[in-house]
Structure 1
C-alpha cells in the first residue's frame, strides 16, 4: 500500500509548509507593524530632549533662550520643557505650555524618577545642559515607558535558542493536532485504496462502509458486486459457447467422415463418368477443408478458454522447426512450394520452455498460410535466430503478399476473420488466430509484416529463452 504513506507525506508536507509560511508571514507583518510605530531618529523623544538641552542657551540678565527651530519642533510634538538648576534643584526656565500641575521644586529622587518614568502622568525625557537638567514632557497618550526594566542576562544570551525551541514545539503541536484530527480520514483512505486496487485486478471487493468516506466505500462495494455478477454471467456464456463448439465439432465428425469415405469411393469408381468422378473429388476436397476448419475452430476455442493444457518442457527450437520443415518438404511432390532453410549453421541448439506439439502446430499454420494464399506457388523461407535473450522464428515467402491495410488488420484485429469475395475458396483466418493464442500461452509475441528481402508475406514469432 504505497499510496497511503504517499498521501500521508503529502498532507504532512502541506501542513509543515503552511506552518512555516504562517510563521514567516507573521514575523514579517510584526516587523513591518513595529517599524511603522517606532519613531525615526529625528522624532525620538530621547534625541529631542538631548537636542533641546544643547539648544537652550543663557542670555544677558540671567535669562535663557531656546532657538526658534527647536521651539517650533517642540510645538509640533506638543511637548513642553523646563530647566532644573543643578545647585538649587528649582525650575529656572520653562516653556509657555507647561501644565500648571508641574512642580517648580525637585529633589534628586524626583529627578531620578522622572528620567526613567513619568511626571504627573506625562512621559518625560531629560537632556544635558551646562546650567542644569532639561526635562521634556510629552502628551500623556504619546509614549509608553517601561519604568522598571530588569532582565536576567542568561535570558538575553539564550534568547535565540529559546525562540527556536518555542517555534519547534509549536510546529510539533500543530502537527500532532493535525494528525489526531485527520486520523479517521487516514484510516478510511487505506481500505478504499486497497479496494480500488482489488477492482483493477478483478477481485471481489468488500470494504467497511464506515468513517467519513463511507459513501465512497458504498459505491466501491456496489461496483464490485456489479463486476462480479458480470464476470459470472460472462463465464457462463463462455462455458456454454465452448461446450457448444466442442459438441458440434464432435457431432459433425462422424457424418463428415462418412461423406468423405463415400465420396472417395465414388471418385475412384470406374462405373462413373469422368465428370461425375471430378465432382466426387471436389466433395472430398471440400469435406477435408471443412474437417480442418472444425479442428481449427475447436482448438481455437480450447486455447481461448484455457481448456487446452499446455505441457511445457525444455525443447530445442531449431530441431522442432526443422522437423516441421522436413515434413512439408516431403509432402511437396510437385515442388510448387520449395522451403528454404535460412538458419545459421552455427546455431544448432536454441532451448526454450515450450509445448512441442503446439509449437509445431504454430509453425505448420504459418507455412500452410503461405501455401494457401499463393495458388501459383511460391518459395518459403524459414529461419531460427536468437537476439536479446529471445528465440525468433521467422516464416517468409516471395508470394503475392498483402496490402498495408491488411497488415494493419492482421496485427490488430482479434479474430482474423477474412472473407475473400474474389475467390470461391473463402479463408477463415483461424490459422493465424491459433498461432497468436499459442504464443500467448508461451509469453511470446507475433509480428505480421511485409517481407523485406523476398517481397511477400512475413510472420515473426518471439519466445523468451
Structure 2
C-alpha cells in the first residue's frame, strides 16, 4: 500500500508540474505578444511605424508637385496599404497614391480627428505626422478592423490584480480537478492494489468487475481462482504424501520387528557357528538402520508439512548433549569409536527453550552420521560454547568429513525452498547421496530458530555445526527459566 500511495503522490506532483509549465509558457507568449503587438497584417507595430516614417520622409517637393519614389510606393504595397495621401496644415491633399474618387481632397480639423481614430469612407487608415505633413495610409476593409476601446485609469491600475486573480482562480480550478481525478483514480485502483496484496498473502481475491479497471479486476479474479485451485491441489498432494509415508512407516514396522526379533534369537542360538551369528548381528544392525531411516522419514515429513506438535520446555543443553553421548555408548558403541566432549562455562549456564526429544534427535543424527560413515572407526569431537545470546554446537571427526556433494545437495534443497527451483534442478538434488539425517537435523534446528552451517576442511570435505538462540543466566530460578524459555522462543519465531 505504501508503494501505491507513493505512486499517487507522484501522479499529483507530475500533474501539478505540467500545469505550472503550461501556465508559464502561456505567460511567456502573452508578454511577447504584448511587447510586439502586430499591426493586423502580420507586421509588428514597430515595423509599421518605421514604414510610415520612412514613407513620409520619402515624399519630396518637385517642379510637378509632391512626389514619392518608387521605393516608397513599393514599401506601402509590401505592407498591405491600398492607397495613401498627404495633407498639409490647411487639410488639403498635396500628394496622393491610388486615391479613390470618392475620397475627399479637403478635410477639416474635425474630419481629421474623426478618421484618425475610426474609418475614412469605410477604409481603416493609419495616420503619421512627418515633415509638417499628415501622411494617411489606408488598408483594405476586408483585412483590417479598427476597434476603439476606451479603458478607465482605474481598470489599468487594477490590471495587475486582475492578472493575479486570474492566475489564482485558474490554479484553484485546475488543482480541484487534479484532486478530483486523482481521488477517482485512487478509488478505482485501490481495490486492485488490495487484491494484489491479498494474492501475495495467498488469500482469495474477488474484486468487483466494473469501471475503468474492469479488465484488470477480471484478470486478478481469474488469477486468484487459479492460485487457490493450485494451493488446494498442493495441499491435498502434501497431505496424501504425508499419509502415505505414515502408512508405509506403520506397515514396515511389523515385519521389521519380526526381523529384529528373529535375528536376536539367531544370535543367542548355541547351535549356530560364529559366522552365522555375525550374519545375524549384521541383519540386526542393518535392521536398526532401516528403522532409524523410517523414523527419520516420518519425522521429516511431519516437520515439512507442519503436522508435528512442538512441546517446548526449558532444557540445559550441556546436560542434553551428555545424555545423547551416553545413549550412544549404552547402545553398544564399538571400541574403534570414541566421542570427546568440551563444554565451556558459559554453555553450562545456558538455557534453551526447545523440544528436548527433537534436539536429541538432531544431535543423534549428526553423531550417527560420523559413526555410520566411518566403518573403520574414528574419534568424534563435540564442542559446546555460548556467546551469551546463542548456543554453538560444533561436531568434528577424524574421518574424511561430509562430502562436498552432500553439502551441495543440502544447499540445493534450501535454495529450492527459497527460490522455487526448476523441476530439473530439483530432480538433480534428489539424485544426490543419502542426506535424510542431515536434512532432519536442519529442519529441527530451523524449527528452534537456529541455523545449520558447514565449514570446509583442507581435503575439500566439511564438518558440521549449528547455532541456536537462547539465554545465558544462572539456572537456580526454575520459574524464571520457564518464563524466559517461552518468551525467547516467541521472539525467534
TM-score w.r.t. structure 2 length? Answer: 0.76
More helix by share: 2
The alpha-carbon distance between structure 1 residues 102 and 291, as it changes in their structure 2 partners (threshold 3 A), is same
State the secondary structure of the residue aligned to 2:147: coil
Displacement after TM superposition at 1:369 (Å): 1.0
On the 8 A contact 2:406/2:432 being kept in 1, the answer is no
The alpha-carbon distance between structure 1 residues 263 and 69, as it changes in their structure 2 partners (threshold 3 A), is closer
Query: Which residue of 2 is the match for residue 165 of structure 1?
Result: 168
On the 8 A contact 2:365/2:437 being kept in 1, the answer is yes
Displacement after TM superposition at 1:53 (Å): 4.1
Query: Which residue of 2 is the match for residue 359 of structure 1?
Result: 359
Asked whether 1:460 is paired with 2:460, we answer: no
Q: 2:44, 2:343 → 1: CA distance?
A: 95
Displacement after TM superposition at 1:366 (Å): 0.9
Query: Which residue of 2 is the match for residue 153 of structure 1?
Result: 156
TM-score w.r.t. structure 1 length? Answer: 0.80
On the 8 A contact 2:405/2:432 being kept in 1, the answer is no
Query: Which residue of 2 is the match for residue 43 of structure 1?
Result: 47
1:436 to 439, 442, 455: 442
Residue-by-residue CA offset, 1:237-260 (whole Å, 9 max, x unaligned):
433443443344344445533432
The alpha-carbon distance between structure 1 residues 259 and 403, as it changes in their structure 2 partners (threshold 3 A), is closer
State the secondary structure of the residue aligned to 2:205: coil
Q: 2:5, 2:190 → 1: CA distance?
A: 9
State the secondary structure of the residue aligned to 2:125: strand
Residue-by-residue CA offset, 1:47-81 (whole Å, 9 max, x unaligned):
333344444455679x4454564344335445443
Asked whether 1:136 is paired with 2:140, we answer: no
Query: Which residue of 2 is the match for residue 83 of structure 1?
Result: 86
On the 8 A contact 1:410/1:448 being kept in 2, the answer is no
Q: 1:127, 1:210 → 2: CA distance?
A: 70
Q: 1:388, 1:38 → 2: CA distance?
A: 89
Residues 120-131 of structure 1 aligned to structure 2 (within 5 Å): 120-129=121-130, 131=132
State the secondary structure of the residue aligned to 1:413: helix
Query: Which residue of 2 is the match for residue 271 of structure 1?
Result: 271
Displacement after TM superposition at 1:85 (Å): 3.0
Q: 1:84, 1:442 → 2: CA distance?
A: 111
CA root-mean-square deviation: 3.8
Query: Which residue of 2 is the match for residue 423 of structure 1?
Result: none
Q: 2:21, 2:106 → 1: CA distance?
A: 57
Q: 1:149, 1:388 → 2: CA distance?
A: 92
On the 8 A contact 1:260/1:287 being kept in 2, the answer is yes
Q: 2:382, 2:393 → 1: CA distance?
A: 8
Displacement after TM superposition at 1:26 (Å): 6.1
The alpha-carbon distance between structure 1 residues 461 and 131, as it changes in their structure 2 partners (threshold 3 A), is same
The alpha-carbon distance between structure 1 residues 358 and 270, as it changes in their structure 2 partners (threshold 3 A), is same
Q: 1:103, 1:447 → 2: CA distance?
A: 113
Q: 1:291, 1:72 → 2: CA distance?
A: 118
State the secondary structure of the residue aligned to 1:338: strand
State the secondary structure of the residue aligned to 2:97: coil
The alpha-carbon distance between structure 1 residues 89 and 205, as it changes in their structure 2 partners (threshold 3 A), is closer
Structure 1 unaligned blocks of 5 or more: 421-427
The alpha-carbon distance between structure 1 residues 194 and 127, as it changes in their structure 2 partners (threshold 3 A), is closer
On the 8 A contact 2:303/2:443 being kept in 1, the answer is yes
Q: 1:279, 1:234 → 2: CA distance?
A: 45
The alpha-carbon distance between structure 1 residues 390 and 136, as it changes in their structure 2 partners (threshold 3 A), is farther
The alpha-carbon distance between structure 1 residues 68 and 265, as it changes in their structure 2 partners (threshold 3 A), is closer
The alpha-carbon distance between structure 1 residues 328 and 100, as it changes in their structure 2 partners (threshold 3 A), is same
**Residue range with higher mean Cα deviation, 341-350 or 104-113:** 341-350
The alpha-carbon distance between structure 1 residues 170 and 308, as it changes in their structure 2 partners (threshold 3 A), is closer
Q: 1:72, 1:229 → 2: CA distance?
A: 88
On the 8 A contact 1:370/1:457 being kept in 2, the answer is no
State the secondary structure of the residue aligned to 2:85: strand
The alpha-carbon distance between structure 1 residues 330 and 90, as it changes in their structure 2 partners (threshold 3 A), is same
Query: Which residue of 2 is the match for residue 95 of structure 1?
Result: 96
On the 8 A contact 2:393/2:467 being kept in 1, the answer is yes
Aligned residues: 450
The alpha-carbon distance between structure 1 residues 283 and 350, as it changes in their structure 2 partners (threshold 3 A), is same
Residue-by-residue CA offset, 1:287-314 (whole Å, 9 max, x unaligned):
2222222222222222223232112344
Structure 2 unaligned blocks of 5 or more: 415-425, 471-493
Query: Which residue of 2 is the match for residue 202 of structure 1?
Result: 202
**Residue range with higher mean Cα deviation, 50-59 or 362-371:** 50-59
Q: 1:269, 1:290 → 2: CA distance?
A: 24
On the 8 A contact 2:91/2:106 being kept in 1, the answer is yes
